[in-house]
Amino acid sequence: MESRQSPGMQLYVVVWIGLLLIVGAEVALTLAHLRASTLLGLLLVLAVIEAGLGLMYFMHLRYERPSLFWSLIPALIIVLVLMDHFWPDALRLMHQRLPAP
């Protein structure tokens, strides 16, 4: 049971440089002193791109059978999106607490 052919070190080095550049972009965005919610959104987008590169190349998901990707990643995304829906509700409940007597 062998995975499909994986690329040589040259491609991994290119991915590594790409990841370093994204980290540089994140630091530059931080120093621009944006609003907290805007900064959070931009940093999350860059982090997701980094995670995608890591998953597909360093973790070889791109070179495995597509069935592995489709079994794992959509399920993870659904769980994370559901969390994103439930957390605001948790904050709403916190504000609905009765004041202490």
- When binding is defined by CB under 8 A, the residue of 10, 88, 96, 101 that contacts another protein is 88
- Please state, in angstroms and rounded to a whole number, the distance separating the CA atoms of residues 73 and 45: 17
Total residues contacting another protein (rule CB under 8 A)? Answer: 47
Q: How far is CA 66 from the centre of its chain?
A: 20
Q: Does 62 bind another protein (CB under 8 A)?
A: no
- Please state, in angstroms and rounded to a whole number, the distance separating the CA atoms of residues 29 and 68: 35
Contact of 83 with 23, CB cutoff 8 Å = no
Residue 86's H or E segment, with its range, is helix 66-95
Chain residues binding another protein by CB under 8 A are 1-3, 6, 8-9, 12-13, 16, 19-20, 23, 26-27, 29-31, 36-37, 39-40, 43-44, 46-47, 50-51, 54-55, 58-59, 64-65, 67-68, 71-72, 75-76, 79-80, 83-84, 87-88, 90-91
